[in-house]
Amino acid sequence: MGSDFVHLHAHSEYSLLDGLSNIGKLTQRAANLGMDTLALTDHGVLYGAIEFYQAAKKAGIKPIVGMEAYVAPGKHDDKTPAGKGYFHTVLLAKNAEGYKNLLKLSTRAHLDGYYYKPRIDRELIAEHKEGIIISQACVSGEVNRRLTQKDKKGARAAAAFYRDLMGPDHYFLELQVHPEVPELHEINQELVLISRELGIPLVATNDAHYVDHEDAQTHLLLRCLGFNTTVADYCAKNSCTPASIDAGYYLKSAAEMEELMKAYPSEALENTRRIADMCDLNLEFGRVQLPEFPLPPGHTPSTYLRELCEQGLRGNWERQYGSDSPPAHYWERLNYELDVIDQTGFPLYMLIVWDYVKFARTAGIPCVPRGSAGGSLVLYCLGISDVDPVANKLVFERFLNPERKEMPDIDMDFADSRRQEVLDYVTNKYGRDRTAQIITFGTLGAKAALRDVGRVLDIPLSTVDTVAKLVPKLPVGTTLTQSLERVADLKKLYDSDTQIRDLIDKARKLEGVTRNVGTHACGIVVSADPLDTIVPLQRTAKEEAAVMASFPMGTLGEIGLLKMDMLGLTNLSIVDAALRYVSESQGRPFTLADIPLDDKATFELLSQGMTLGVFQLESGAMVRYLKELKPTRIQDIYAMVALYRPGPMEEIPKYIEWKNNPSKITYLHPILKPILEDTYGVIVYQEQVLQILMQMAGYTMGKADIVRKAIGKKNKALMEAEGPKFLDGC
């Protein structure tokens, strides 16, 4: 028998508040057990399909993508009390066709069949059965449910229906053994009889919900969260104790499964390999699937982009300087950027963004880019950005690095009162079936884990609050383990109070587990093909017409979908209203360009902390810093906004001290002075990091940007590897 056994029914944390398994740990556990194949079958969703596929491949395991679907007893879209309910059914994708059918079934379940759960029905299964293998799942499967109801005739009728629909090689009766479900033994005996009578093969599974045997107690906490009950009430209802719960829902070894199934025909174990051998799914990654974009006759995306940029550069220069002849170094920079955009294959992407930004500006919708897009002269020429990157010494490679060749991000902020107009424009242009918003996944942070665990353990709220308030707010994402290391009062409570120690220890095991889903604040995806052939879809919220792609944000880029950030920003709406009021009161058009950036009275107000309603300058700590800084130029405001975030905040006192006392400014090396003197000797901007790497250690701009990104992401391994190279270059 050995490692021939294959787990074909396993859940990850994407079976929200029911599955505990981290996908990476799940696949590694299978590899450590010597298994060469593993299936993932989360409840009603495919959230983790791509992550699982890639993790399994990395671990040397063949992935089988599946889903434990909810099947309505009648029509999937019957949302009356009479149509309420569902059976569990495991669906496995044999191949690419089966995978696409899973995507469509998941989408139909969420968009049309959601009634307490995302449901499909027999008719939908028949419509999308190609490339799919079915097994009857757990005690909640249709055949099993009818057996528990003593409806043997109905159970056989259901089994015969699926056998005839799928064929005897693609429909299996699932055997499970769990002491917590005593009726399973009687069900299994009847399933063996049905198998013989109807010629339906058996298959053994374990319905794994966590990785290791030791995870059972943590899984109990998670289930109680899902049921919104306490551990005490759960155990009272199920006649158990925390210590006596069935700890068998883990990824068992082949030997353990053989022992578990010894009372049943050996074919149930052997058929796991039979099913695994039928499955062979190969997914493609990296190919960007940009939508079609209408071009003028005789143009390619590249030539049209160049024409627009050349027109834009001349137009910008004429508006600003009264001449349509920009200097040579602007043309050199523009040609360089266009060449890089051509080499990396992104002219069409630039045109797509230019198009919807042009729509917004023509419609009078306030919008501005955010982040590294300000470093591109191409975007300045297209009217996407109002910032001249050459005049402001901004770096293009931060936006698009020819040595990294990743899709650049053009993050746009729109007035929140009119963002929907832009979304509607994009949806109408490319098709409702090809555009969607993006799902997000909420995970349990340190404080949330404490409060959730405290609730299910019925620990007094005052005790939980005392502990939670000791977890630092900054840096964002501080874990409980880090909190114990950094906060003496928390460590003292942990060492002296057994209840608090138990609370923290249990909460640590739930930290980072996926708890809920939401809608990304600004992300949308656009595809060349109907999205339901590429990604599962679901509603953004109950009863809303908008849909969202339900793969994680990072996954969408890996499968080639175009992601666009369109954030609705309240402050842009406020600024727009203010400009209108000023225009009305003065009787003439008034724009942001009319505001001087060197107004002394404004800096005096900022120095007094008069920043109520000023975007990013009105928090209590920022007001205090501005009073200490006493800004005298717009560059001081730039620097404070850049520094006011976790990590760089530690440099704010130095920045203030050295601005007000220039004699204290020191440079570790003379090369640093021209790079840092504008920020009083403090490294404030990522552009300064790039310049230091290039001028001190001889890095190319592209290589420097790769290191810059590693620093930003705290990639310790890459930074340590670069240390000797940096020193060699100095």
Mark whether 451 and 553 lie in a shared domain: no
Over residues 424-431, the mean pLDDT reads 95
Any domain includes 347: yes
| CATH number of residue 159's parent domain | 3.20.20.140
Residue 571: enclosing H or E segment and its boundaries?
helix 570-586
Residue that finishes a domain, picked among 232, 263, 278: 278
For 60, half-sphere exposure in the C-beta direction (CA atoms, 13 angstrom radius) is 9
9 and 134 share a domain? yes
Residues ≥6 apart with Cβ < 8 Å to 115: 72, 78, 79, 83, 84
Residue partners of 687: CB distance under 8 A and separation at least 6: 375, 393, 394, 395, 398
Domain range for residue 425? Answer: 301-440+518-571
pLDDT above 50 (res 2): no
Q: How many domains does the chain have?
A: 4
- Examine the domain organization and report whether 259 and 137 are in the same domain: yes
Higher per-residue confidence, 141 vs 713: 141
Q: 268 and 131, same structural domain?
A: yes
Residues 482 and 631 in one domain: no
pTM above 0.85, yes or no: yes
Q: What is the pLDDT of residue 711?
A: 84
At which of 475, 491, 514 does a domain end? 514
Give mean pLDDT, residues 166-184: 92
> What's the sign of the alpha-carbon dihedral 47, 55, 557, 526?
negative
pLDDT for 366-420, tens place per residue? 999 998 999 999 999 999 999 999 998 899 998 998 887 778 889 999 999 999 9
Average pLDDT over residues 491-499: 95
Same domain, 160 and 83: yes
Mean pLDDT along residues 239-263: 92
Instruction: Let me know how long the chain is.
Output: 730
- Which amino acid, residue 470? L
Q: Are residues 547 and 621 in the same domain?
A: no
What pLDDT is stored for residue 60 in this prediction? Answer: 97
Whether residue 155 is contained in a domain is answered as: yes
Inside any domain, residue 644? yes
Q: What is the CATH number of the domain that holds 451?
A: 1.10.10.1600
567 and 639 share a domain? no
User: pLDDT tens for residues 521-560?
Assistant: 999 999 999 999 999 999 997 657 889 999 999 899 899 8
pLDDT digits (tens, 9 = 90+) for 582-627: 999 999 999 988 999 999 999 999 999 999 989 999 999 999 999 9
pLDDT of residue 3: 63
Q: How confident is the model at residue 726 (pLDDT cuts 50, 70, 90)?
A: confident
Look at residue 391 and tell me if it is in a domain: yes
Same domain, 407 and 432: yes
Q: Using pLDDT thresholds of 50, 70 and 90, give the confidence band for residue 1.
A: very low
Q: How many angstroms separate the CA atoms of 556 and 541, rounded? A: 20
Closest CA to 376 of 400, 342, 404, 352: 400
Instruction: Say yes or no: 496 and 557 in one domain.
Output: no
Tell me which H or E stretch contains 492. Answer: helix 488-496
Give the pLDDT score at 647.
80
pLDDT at 92 over 60: yes
pLDDT band at 191 (very low <50, low <70, confident <90, very high): very high
Tell me whether residue 224 is in a domain: no
CA-nearest of 383, 686, 420 to 567 is: 420
Q: Judge if 254 and 355 occupy the same domain.
A: no
Position 697 in a domain: yes
Q: Is residue 723 part of a domain?
A: yes
Pair 418, 557 in one domain: yes
pLDDT exceeds cutoff 90 at 168: no
Torsion angle of C-alpha atoms 249, 251, 255, 258, degrees rounded to 10: 50
Say if 241 falls within a structural domain: no
